[in-house]
């Protein structure tokens, strides 16, 4: 189970409205000052349900918005999102029936020339942002969470959890829906060699097939 690590930042709890609807939450998150990440981001990027009218059974949780997501205000629209779409299609999962979100709602970055380079959120920032993820889970009531990458997996399953060792397995953590961890598509795209990218993408597809199998039960 994820540790209840104390945080030096105030945290998002006081900004999460008691009236719960995804639209109300998505609006309220723009006013969140639960940690300092809002200062350098264009906007908060909240989760989104696919276009299907069906209630999502699967919630995918990434790390944080990327450069393009930060500008557009939509999760998983950049290159990593395209790879995720391809892998979902190959696994036979309809993206329109999936709710996608991130562990942390504001883009953390550092300048590298003209580029805004992704910077990993700290444990304190992850902890501060957790009330938004919990509010989304309360609204969606997913049957399965898919944690994409170490940040999401460790936020839910604890700092000791290793995606490389336990990806594709359905895990249980107190206070959370069942969760299956797998690689983040952005980390696959960062692999230097083609053969590594292909192998890791194939593993991601296999993990997503496991997720689909779990939902059939």
Q: With respect to ligand SF4, which residue has the nearer C-beta, 108 or 167?
A: 108
CB of 121 within 8 A of CB of 34?
Answer: no
Q: Rounded to whole angstroms, how far apart are CA atoms 129 and 147?
A: 16
Using rule CB under 6 A, residue 180 touches ligand SF4 = no
Q: Which helix (H) or strand (E) holds 82?
A: helix 79-91
Using rule CB under 6 A, residue 44 touches ligand SF4 = yes
Using rule CB under 6 A, residue 128 touches ligand SF4 = yes
Classify strands 109-112 and 115-118 as parallel, antiparallel or unpaired: antiparallel
61 beta partners: 101, 147
Q: Rounded to whole angstroms, how far apart are CA atoms 69 and 141?
A: 24
Q: Of these, 2, 16, 28, 29, which contacts ligand SF4 (CB under 6 A)?
A: 29
Q: With respect to ligand SF4, which residue has the nearer C-beta, 40 or 86?
A: 40
Q: With respect to ligand SF4, which residue has the nearer C-beta, 57 or 106?
A: 106
Using rule CB under 6 A, residue 25 touches ligand SF4 = no
Classify strands 98-102 and 48-49 as parallel, antiparallel or unpaired: antiparallel
Q: With respect to ligand SF4, which residue has the nearer C-beta, 36 or 169?
A: 36
Give contact residues for ligand SF4 (rule: CB under 6 A).
12, 29, 32-35, 37-38, 44, 104-106, 125, 128-129, 132
């Amino acid at each position: 189970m994820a540790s209840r690590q104390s945080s030096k930042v105030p945290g998002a709890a006081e900004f999460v409205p008691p009236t719960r609807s995804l639209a109300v939450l998505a609006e309220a998150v723009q006013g969140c000052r639960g940690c300092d990440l809002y200062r350098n981001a264009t906007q908060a990027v909240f989760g989104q349900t696919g276009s299907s009218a069906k209630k999502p059974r699967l919630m995918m949780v990434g790390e944080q918005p990327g450069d393009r997501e930060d500008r557009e205000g939509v999760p998983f629209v950049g290159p990593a999102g395209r790879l995720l779409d391809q892998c979902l299609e190959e696994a036979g999962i309809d993206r329109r029936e999936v709710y996608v979100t991130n562990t942390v709602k504001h883009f953390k970055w550092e300048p590298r020339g003209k580029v805004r380079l992704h910077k990993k959120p700290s444990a304190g920032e992850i902890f501060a942002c957790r009330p938004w993820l919990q509010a989304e889970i309360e609204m969606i009531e997913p049957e399965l969470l898919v944690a994409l990458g170490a940040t999401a997996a460790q936020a839910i399953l604890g700092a000791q959890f290793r995606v490389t060792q336990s990806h594709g397995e359905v895990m249980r953590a107190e206070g959370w829906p069942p969760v299956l961890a797998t690689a983040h598509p952005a980390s696959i795209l960062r692999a230097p060699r083609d053969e590594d990218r292909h192998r890791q993408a194939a593993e991601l597809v296999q993990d997503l097939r496991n997720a689909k199998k779990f939902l059939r039960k």
